[in-house]
Chains A and B, each alone.
Chain A
Amino acid sequence: MKKLLFNPFQRERKERDLDDELRFYVETLAEEKTRAGMSPDEALRAARIQLGGIEQVKELVRDVRPGAWLAGFLQDLRYAARRLWNNPGFAVVVVLSLAVGIGANTALFSVLNAVLLRPLPVAHPEQLFALSNPLSRSSVKNIFSYPMFERMRKVAGNNGIAAMSRVADVRVLVDGDRDPEPHSAQLVSGEFFRLAGLSPALGRMIGPEDNRTGGGQPVAVIGYDLWQRRFGGSTGVLGRGLALNGSHFTIVGVAPAGFTGMWLESRTDIWIPLVMQQAVRYSQNFSAMNSNPDKPWMDQEGILWLNLIVRTKAHAVALDTVFRQSVAQLAESIGDPEIRRLTLRQRLSLDPVAQGFSNFLRRRFTGPLFALMAVVALILLIACANTASLLLARANRRQGEIAVRLALGAGRGRLIRQLLTESFLLAAIAAAGGLAFSNAASELLVRGTLGTTAGPTPFSTSADGRILGFTIALSALTTLLFGLVPALRATRVDLESALRAGARGVREGARVNTQKLLVVSQMALTLILAVGAIWFADSLRNLANVRLGFDQEHVVTVWINPQSAGYASERLPELYRRLVDGVEAVPGVRSAAVAMCGLASSCRDISDIKIAGYDARPGEQVLVQENRIGPDYFSTVGMRLLAGRNFTGRDTKDAPPVAIVSESLARRYFPGGNAIGRRFGYTDTGAKADTEIVGIVGDARVNSAREEPPLMAYYPMQQGTVYGGSLEVRVTGDPAARMAEIRNAVRKVDRNLPVTQLTALSEQVSGNLRQDRLIMWLTSTFGLLALGLGCFGLYGVLSYAVARRMGELGIRLALGAPESRLFRMVFGESLALIAAGLALGLPFVFAASRVVSGILFGVKVNDPVLLGLAALTLTATAALTAFFPSRRASQVSPITALRYE
């Protein structure tokens, strides 16, 4: 180590010593030869030859010095920097195109990292597992009841298992404040923080003592960000009071910095004990069977609402036993033997949850992220190909210099290293630039996809070790990709002929082949991107033109939450009547109707029904999505009743239960077209088929424009009043113009009724497609960008190829070849390369089609017309690109051409 450190300072002395040492060798030899009768000059020459070149030997000795690598590298770096400085145009073009490539890759990787890879900031996240019930017949497979959690806790021990609710939006009123603020809160069992290994930044965490029902005062732990932002990071925050959805809590602690919750898509601000479920009226993502969701959930076996996590799989078998015992008990009450059999098959599964939970983000974005990642990777590849061809051209101009340096004793390895250092410097500058803009780009990407306009994004994409490692590895790979082949080619020089002035010493054939290969692969890459761009553009168009089945224009949706305002269910019919009357009194409002689930929202209620007279196969489930709606709902949202009757005022609580079903449900289960008058009931509740179908309504994409219309059953609100989520209002003219008045009308009905927001239905629908549109837009835009880059590279390579052949072309001309034949020759060769590229790219296109077909919307990926169009466009563009160099080739004057030599 000492030697290595001192080496640079002693370099001069070492060089002098080496000089002396070798001179002694040569001079002694020469002296002997003179003594033997040679002339002094001749003797010196002979001695030098015997040594094998002073400079060569010196170079070999330098290579074995300690730290030689570093010293050589620094020297190469200085040299490379000087060369780039002298050729700024080249440097700027290369650095910019590489920076775009590396930056885009890093930005996407940052998002990918945050969504898929980054572990939770808890102790040993890899040891955490979430419990799930993969064979559950319900649509949610990872939630459990509180009594089940208690039984499992007995087996796994107090430090082995923890329970938590989903993250809910709550209204928080800090003591002393006037207006409540929206925040997000999660209910956790007392074991949660201990299991996660999280210690408080201040105060204490929620602990096992907070599990007790009733006892003590309600406590809350707030997140670090909220503490800093809202309470200025003051220690006085402990003991402060706040009301969550009207229920009072005392702040007892602050969660550690960096921990933003267990869910990828929602940053959690506040944690409270599970026992407070009823007090804050938490009612989200649950599945209820033979139970009453209006009563406290803690002691109800039939309400599944808790995500459970365990540390280590140690108790997996014991937990499964507990779970199966409960299932067996439940199965006793099931009548249908096949369903009982399927229920008894259920088992517990432990899934890794090191990266935290995710509702939809991970599932929905993984595919699109990889598709985008592939596109930006292709962009980088094209940038590499462009750079490689530029470097090849440059190497050609440098061959004289390289030959001289080889002759002076530079080893080929050393020269390759030097050329690669130059490439590395380019890549490193580009990487630094790319890294700088990728941070902003990835945040923009997340904001764009999630529609987060203000406030922090639910998860951060900021650079961490993994991203930095990715960028460094990417730059190194990039360097090798675009630098290695030119460096190898440049240093493969036939010394003798290269040194002869003006002669071409390079192995011409090899270099031209490299270039042809570049053209072909660039064409292949460009084809993939062109087809991709067309796919995604087509997809965007289809998405915009999809038939929704309802009329999204001129409708305002008012999102209400009567539950968190504390309405008892008996008072709901009265509230709904007054709301509809109040809003319909607003000028410009044509009609209004309440619904349990708003359109194009994540609200969906799915049930397993039993249709009288329909012979279900053993174990077959008839799953329908349901909505409960007020009068005039269909006309308000513009759905068409196709047969039967609408709900009327006579469909009251005491009248026989009725339903209106969607067209596809009617067609599927009543193929004879006789749905009206038929009855169905719920499988869960004793299967008494007493609900009569009175009407058929048109299919509608109620969940999202992307999703096929679900099989729907609508029920009248009067026959089973539930907490409504939306009030749909049809207006004349621009919905935005009516919003303020509608909001006022709602407020007049009840000042305390929280109105989450007002949206135009058309915006709600398109907001839902924001992710899809953004990803499709990005992919097609990136595709076009890459197409441009590809053509640019093609042009460069072709012009260069023509320039290299000037001599040959000149001779052909001089020998009497007509211009047209020269043109045909050069152009024909280019066309052949283009065709080869297309042929090479096609299999990749088919492979890509299989990967992205899930992301696309209504696109026939292997449509020959579409593929033909892409190939034709590309051929035309490339042919145009090749046209100019070819014409230049045919118009060359023999004299200029021969002077080229």
Chain B
Amino acid sequence: MEPAELLPGTLDLLILKAISLERLHGLGISRRIEQMTSGTFQVKPGSLFPALHRMENQDWLASEWGESESNRRAKYYRLTKSGRRQLEAEKVRWDRVAVAIAQALQAS
């Protein structure tokens, strides 16, 4: 299947989910999203980086410089407390949307 366009409003949710277990750098996040969605969604850097910086400004993410697997200096992002709350809120919202859309499509 071809990589699909991200649905509006889902990028934040996917990023939050991607780093909910461990801290990741930008490339890592986009790989993780690809992997989590079995390749359905590919996040372009032009969307990813602005989103990361915006979410950092909103205090959902915190960043720190660390050493990468290849021994390079990399910027790692992790969830903050308010980021975790945001993830929960987005999850609930998404579940409602998904159920609603599914119902709509099943309606005869």
Binding site for B on A (CB under 8 A): 3, 17, 20-22, 24-25, 27-29, 31, 50-52, 56-57, 60-61, 63-66
A52-B45, A60-B46 known; A25 vs B27 contact (CB < 8 Å): yes
A64-B57, A65-B57 known; A24 vs B50 contact (CB < 8 Å): no
Nearest-Cβ distance from residue A47 to partner chain B, whole angstroms: 10
A25-B26, A57-B45 known; A66 vs B57 contact (CB < 8 Å): yes
* B27 and A61 form a contact (CB under 8 A): no
**Chain A residues with Cβ under 8 A from B74's Cβ?**
21, 24
A24-B68, A28-B68, A57-B45 known; A64 vs B53 contact (CB < 8 Å): yes
Name the residue among A25, A27, A51 with the largest chain B CB count within 10 angstroms. A25
* B46 and A24 form a contact (CB under 8 A): no
**Chain B residues with Cβ under 8 A from A29's Cβ?**
27
* A60 and B75 form a contact (CB under 8 A): no
> B1-30 vs A: 1/0 string, CB under 8 Å?
000000000000000000000000111000
- Given pairs A52-B44, A52-B45, 4 additional interface contacts (CB within 8 A): A21-B25, A24-B27, A63-B50, A65-B57
A3 to B56, alpha carbons, bound, how many Å? 12
**Chain A residues with Cβ under 8 A from B25's Cβ?**
21, 24-25
A50 to B30, alpha carbons, bound, how many Å? 12
Partner of B49, one of A22, A28, A50: A22
* A20 and B54 form a contact (CB under 8 A): no
Q: Which residues of chain B in 49-77 are interfacial with respect to chain A, using CB atoms and an 8 Å cutoff?
A: 49-51, 53-54, 57, 68, 70, 72-75
A-B contact pairs, 19 of them (CB 8 A): A17-B75, A20-B75, A21-B25, A21-B49, A21-B74, A22-B45, A24-B75, A25-B25, A25-B27, A27-B72, A28-B68, A28-B70, A51-B45, A60-B46, A60-B50, A61-B49, A61-B50, A61-B53, A64-B54
Nearest-Cβ distance from residue A30 to partner chain B, whole angstroms: 11
Q: Which residue of B lies closest to A20 (CB)?
A: B73
A274 to B1, alpha carbons, bound, how many Å? 95
Nearest-Cβ distance from residue B15 to partner chain A, whole angstroms: 14
How many inter-chain residue pairs (CB < 8 Å) link A and B? 55
**Chain A residues with Cβ under 8 A from B49's Cβ?**
21-22, 57, 60-61
Nearest-Cβ distance from residue B71 to partner chain A, whole angstroms: 11
* B72 and A24 form a contact (CB under 8 A): yes
Chain B interface residue count, Cβ-Cβ cutoff 8 angstroms: 18
> B59-102 vs A: 1/0 string, CB under 8 Å?
00000000010101111000000000000000000000000000
Binding site for A on B (CB under 8 A): 25-27, 44-46, 49-51, 53-54, 57, 68, 70, 72-75
**Chain B residues with Cβ under 8 A from A21's Cβ?**
25-26, 49, 74-75
**Chain A residues with Cβ under 8 A from B68's Cβ?**
24, 28
A11 to B32, alpha carbons, bound, how many Å? 30
A21-B26, A64-B57, A65-B57 known; A52 vs B46 contact (CB < 8 Å): yes
The 9 closest A-B pairs by CB, nearest first: A64-B54, A60-B50, A21-B75, A52-B46, A51-B45, A64-B50, A24-B74, A61-B53, A61-B50
* A65 and B26 form a contact (CB under 8 A): no
A285 to B54, alpha carbons, bound, how many Å? 72
* B75 and A57 form a contact (CB under 8 A): no
**Chain A residues with Cβ under 8 A from B75's Cβ?**
17, 20-21, 24
* A25 and B50 form a contact (CB under 8 A): no
A66 to B57, alpha carbons, bound, how many Å? 7
**Chain A residues with Cβ under 8 A from B70's Cβ?**
28, 31
Q: Which residue of B lies closest to A14 (CB)?
A: B53
* B45 and A24 form a contact (CB under 8 A): no
A64 to B52, alpha carbons, bound, how many Å? 10
Q: Which residue of B lies closest to A51 (CB)?
A: B45
A50 to B51, alpha carbons, bound, how many Å? 18
Nearest-Cβ distance from residue A6 to partner chain B, whole angstroms: 12
A820 to B11, alpha carbons, bound, how many Å? 66
Nearest-Cβ distance from residue B103 to partner chain A, whole angstroms: 35
**Chain A residues with Cβ under 8 A from B46's Cβ?**
52, 56-57, 60
Name the residue among B50, B54, B70 with the largest chain A CB count within 10 angstroms. B50
**Chain A residues with Cβ under 8 A from B72's Cβ?**
24, 27-28
Nearest-Cβ distance from residue B51 to partner chain A, whole angstroms: 8
**Chain B residues with Cβ under 8 A from A22's Cβ?**
45, 49
Nearest-Cβ distance from residue B79 to partner chain A, whole angstroms: 18
Nearest-Cβ distance from residue A16 to partner chain B, whole angstroms: 11
Q: Which residue of B lies closest to A17 (CB)?
A: B75
A52 to B47, alpha carbons, bound, how many Å? 10
Nearest-Cβ distance from residue B45 to partner chain A, whole angstroms: 5
**Chain A residues with Cβ under 8 A from B50's Cβ?**
57, 60-61, 63-64
A526 to B22, alpha carbons, bound, how many Å? 71
Q: Which residue of A lies closest to B55 (CB)?
A: A64
* A25 and B45 form a contact (CB under 8 A): yes
A60 to B53, alpha carbons, bound, how many Å? 10
Nearest-Cβ distance from residue B80 to partner chain A, whole angstroms: 15
A63 to B46, alpha carbons, bound, how many Å? 12
Nearest-Cβ distance from residue A743 to partner chain B, whole angstroms: 83
**Chain B residues with Cβ under 8 A from A64's Cβ?**
50-51, 53-54, 57
Q: Which residue of B lies closest to A63 (CB)?
A: B50
A24 to B67, alpha carbons, bound, how many Å? 11
Nearest-Cβ distance from residue A273 to partner chain B, whole angstroms: 68
Nearest-Cβ distance from residue A649 to partner chain B, whole angstroms: 101
**Chain B residues with Cβ under 8 A from A56's Cβ?**
46
Q: Which residue of B lies closest to A21 (CB)?
A: B75
Nearest-Cβ distance from residue A407 to partner chain B, whole angstroms: 16
A25 to B75, alpha carbons, bound, how many Å? 10
**Chain B residues with Cβ under 8 A from A25's Cβ?**
25-27, 45
Nearest-Cβ distance from residue A241 to partner chain B, whole angstroms: 73
A375 to B47, alpha carbons, bound, how many Å? 51
A51 to B49, alpha carbons, bound, how many Å? 10
**Chain B residues with Cβ under 8 A from A51's Cβ?**
45
* B73 and A65 form a contact (CB under 8 A): no
**Chain B residues with Cβ under 8 A from A65's Cβ?**
53, 57
Q: Which residue of B lies closest to A28 (CB)?
A: B27
Q: Which residue of A lies closest to B72 (CB)?
A: A24
A57 to B53, alpha carbons, bound, how many Å? 12
Nearest-Cβ distance from residue A102 to partner chain B, whole angstroms: 39
* A3 and B53 form a contact (CB under 8 A): no
**Chain B residues with Cβ under 8 A from A27's Cβ?**
72
**Chain B residues with Cβ under 8 A from A31's Cβ?**
70
**Chain A residues with Cβ under 8 A from B57's Cβ?**
3, 64-66
Nearest-Cβ distance from residue B101 to partner chain A, whole angstroms: 29
Nearest-Cβ distance from residue A582 to partner chain B, whole angstroms: 92
Nearest-Cβ distance from residue A58 to partner chain B, whole angstroms: 8
**Chain B residues with Cβ under 8 A from A61's Cβ?**
49-50, 53
Q: Which residue of B lies closest to A53 (CB)?
A: B46
**Chain A residues with Cβ under 8 A from B54's Cβ?**
64
A60 to B68, alpha carbons, bound, how many Å? 25
Nearest-Cβ distance from residue A28 to partner chain B, whole angstroms: 6
**Chain B residues with Cβ under 8 A from A50's Cβ?**
45
Nearest-Cβ distance from residue B12 to partner chain A, whole angstroms: 13
A17 to B44, alpha carbons, bound, how many Å? 20
Name the residue among B26, B45, B51, B54 with the largest chain A CB count within 10 angstroms. B45
Nearest-Cβ distance from residue B26 to partner chain A, whole angstroms: 5
Nearest-Cβ distance from residue B65 to partner chain A, whole angstroms: 8
* A24 and B73 form a contact (CB under 8 A): yes
Nearest-Cβ distance from residue A45 to partner chain B, whole angstroms: 15
A61 to B53, alpha carbons, bound, how many Å? 7
Q: Which residue of A lies closest to B57 (CB)?
A: A66
Nearest-Cβ distance from residue A17 to partner chain B, whole angstroms: 7
**Chain B residues with Cβ under 8 A from A17's Cβ?**
75
A335 to B101, alpha carbons, bound, how many Å? 86
Nearest-Cβ distance from residue B33 to partner chain A, whole angstroms: 14
**Chain B residues with Cβ under 8 A from A20's Cβ?**
73, 75
Name the residue among A3, A21, A57, A66 with the largest chain B CB count within 10 angstroms. A21
